[in-house]
Chains A and B, each alone.
Chain A
Amino acid sequence: MRLTVFCVLMGVLVLAACATATPTPTLAPAPKIAVEGMWGRPSPKIAQAGAFYMVIRNTGAAADKLTAARSSACTTVELHESYQMSNGTMGMRPVTGGTIEIPANGQVELKVGGLHIMCIDKKVEFNNGVKLPLTLVFAKSGEINVQVEIREQGM
């Protein structure tokens, strides 16, 4: 009898402990970032800079921001965008605000003639088939390491 009461009491205690140990599920939405299709074009050794392209997907319910990037293959990495003006004129500039917004449940394509990551003062040759390390820094998701393949487009 005593044993049974003890067991029941223990059981209740364990259940109670479990209930309090389980944290209430957080309701704050979070971004969920995936990066794919990383590539860059082979470029002449003399060319000071090379562009990296990719698709950044966010399947999370909160937006995130790409704030910076770095690579051992580049002295400096910057976030840039090419833009079209009238009469077929193109220009290029560092992205406004220095960051690229990745919308919740959305994606941003870094592509030729648009947003791109620029590798300045290349430390290695951008030859066909080479894979370069790149670290992307997001405001909420932290750092994500990817590899950028150097190849001709469309292959």
Chain B
Amino acid sequence: MILLGAAVLLVGRWLTPHTFHGAILQSPLPAQDFSLMSHVGQRVALSDLRGKIVLLYFGYTICPDVCPTTLAELAQARKLLGRDADQVQVLMITVDPERDTIPVLADYVVHFSSTFLGLRGTPDETAQVATYYGIYYEKHDSDSALGYLVDHTATVMVIDRNGYLRLVFPFGTPAEDMASDLQYLLRK
């Protein structure tokens, strides 16, 4: 199934010029570097990942609908890339560092893929990185047994292998569409 998916993507690329599914940044900008603690207990800098496509997502583990959906689609998109999956690194930065401790993040992201990296900053670091990428997030109180909830930008940012911010996938972009765009960026 995965091989077939990859084959279809490949053939599709040869037959037609590529149409991006994600929103393209017409003048790609160098993605601002940052360094945050990862769920494996080491700091990871964006620049450490140069040479890979980085898919950057901001979310939190208590979010039961939007976040797991996006992470599951990202995992599926990687699978569709077959061997090229190794060229794609998914990063999830928590917008709820207060409750998403490193052990929580570790158990959470690995459920979707053992290759995903969960990142956690101090509140200040998190705010700084979010600002770099135009990410909005804000806690709001709720009547829910979950306590406060966090509104947050739910897009996925695509940073190419040279460290340029190239594409933005809106929430709900199917795995197949993301894989198609990633395949194109990897072949270019």
The answer to the question of B111 belonging to the interface, with a C-beta cut-off of 8 Å to chain A, is yes
Cα distance, A50 to B69, chains bound together (Å): 11
**A50, closest chain B residue (CB):** B64
Q: What total of A-B pairs shows CB separation below 8 Å?
A: 106
Q: What total of chain B residues lie within 8 Å of the partner, measured CB to CB?
A: 33
Q: Which of A80, A90, A119 has the most chain B CB atoms inside 10 A of its CB?
A: A90
Identify B107's interface contact among A44, A78, A82, A94, CB under 8 A. A44
The answer to the question of B62 belonging to the interface, with a C-beta cut-off of 8 Å to chain A, is yes
Cα distance, A82 to B112, chains bound together (Å): 21
> Which residues from 132 to 188 on chain B have a C-beta closer than 8 Å to any C-beta of chain A?
134, 136, 140, 142-146, 149, 151-155, 168, 170-172
Q: Are A51 and B64 in contact (CB under 8 A)?
A: yes
Interface of A is mostly: strand
Binds B, one of A9-17, A54-62, A110-118, A138-146: A110-118
Give the shortest distance, in Å, between A56 (CB) and chain B (any CB): 17
The answer to the question of B25 belonging to the interface, with a C-beta cut-off of 8 Å to chain A, is no
Cα distance, A72 to B48, chains bound together (Å): 46
Q: What total of chain A residues lie within 8 Å of the partner, measured CB to CB?
A: 35
Q: Are B108 and A46 in contact (CB under 8 A)?
A: yes
The answer to the question of A8 belonging to the interface, with a C-beta cut-off of 8 Å to chain B, is no
Cα distance, A118 to B151, chains bound together (Å): 17
Give the shortest distance, in Å, between B139 (CB) and chain A (any CB): 11
Q: Are A120 and B108 in contact (CB under 8 A)?
A: no
> Which residues from 88 to 147 on chain A have a C-beta closer than 8 Å to any C-beta of chain B?
88-94, 112-113, 116, 118-121
Q: Are B154 and A89 in contact (CB under 8 A)?
A: yes
Binary contact track A69-95/B, C-beta < 8 Å → 1, others 0: 000000110101010110111111110
Cα distance, A61 to B119, chains bound together (Å): 52
Cα distance, A85 to B136, chains bound together (Å): 11
The answer to the question of B89 belonging to the interface, with a C-beta cut-off of 8 Å to chain A, is no
Q: Are A87 and B153 in contact (CB under 8 A)?
A: yes
Cα distance, A17 to B152, chains bound together (Å): 69
> Which residues from 67 to 122 on chain B have a C-beta closer than 8 Å to any C-beta of chain A?
68-69, 72, 104, 107-108, 110-112
Question: 6 closest Cβ contacts across the A-B interface?
Answer: A44-B111, A91-B151, A46-B107, A49-B64, A90-B154, A88-B155
- 6 pairs from A and B in contact (CB 8 Å cutoff): A80-B144, A84-B171, A90-B66, A116-B65, A120-B144, A153-B69
For the A-B complex with A45-B107, A84-B171 known, give 5 more contacts whose Cβ atoms are closer than 8 Å.
Answer: A47-B111, A51-B65, A78-B144, A88-B155, A113-B172
